[in-house]
Amino acid sequence: MEYQYPIDLDWSNDEMMQVVSFFNAIESFYESKVEGEVLLERYKQFKAIVPSKAEEKQIFKEFENSSGYNSYKAVQAVKGAADQKYFSSN
């Protein structure tokens, strides 16, 4: 798929890479599978960069509009079933 990640140009290169890494985990959730701990760790790193809930919602909406992947639902699925190791949308 061809789409752009929602990136804030005020973020450092490291922060941008961490946000992209989080969205890569979301892509894995929808396209194949992802280890739950990995997705939650990357979400934690994302939240350190984007602590505002309103900004998080906006970034998630931008990503969903361009990719079709709902980040919120993916994170909630992993949080809600911590007894599993791997997760996918299938």
**Is 33 contained in some domain?**
yes
Handedness of CA 46, 20, 70, 56 (dihedral sign): positive
pLDDT of residue 49: 98
**Is 90 contained in some domain?**
no
Q: What CATH number has the domain bearing residue 32?
A: 1.10.220.80
**Is 2 contained in some domain?**
no
Number of domains into which the chain is organized: 1
Helix, strand and coil content of the chain, in percent to the nearest 5, comes to 65, 5, 30
Q: Report the predicted TM-score, pTM, of the whole model to 2 decimal places.
A: 0.90
pLDDT of residue 87: 67
What are the pLDDT digits (tens) for 7-56? 999 999 999 999 999 999 999 999 999 999 999 999 999 999 999 999 99
User: Which residues span the domain enclosing 63?
Assistant: 13-83
Neighbours of 83 (CB within 10 A): 5
**Is 5 contained in some domain?**
no
**Is 8 contained in some domain?**
no
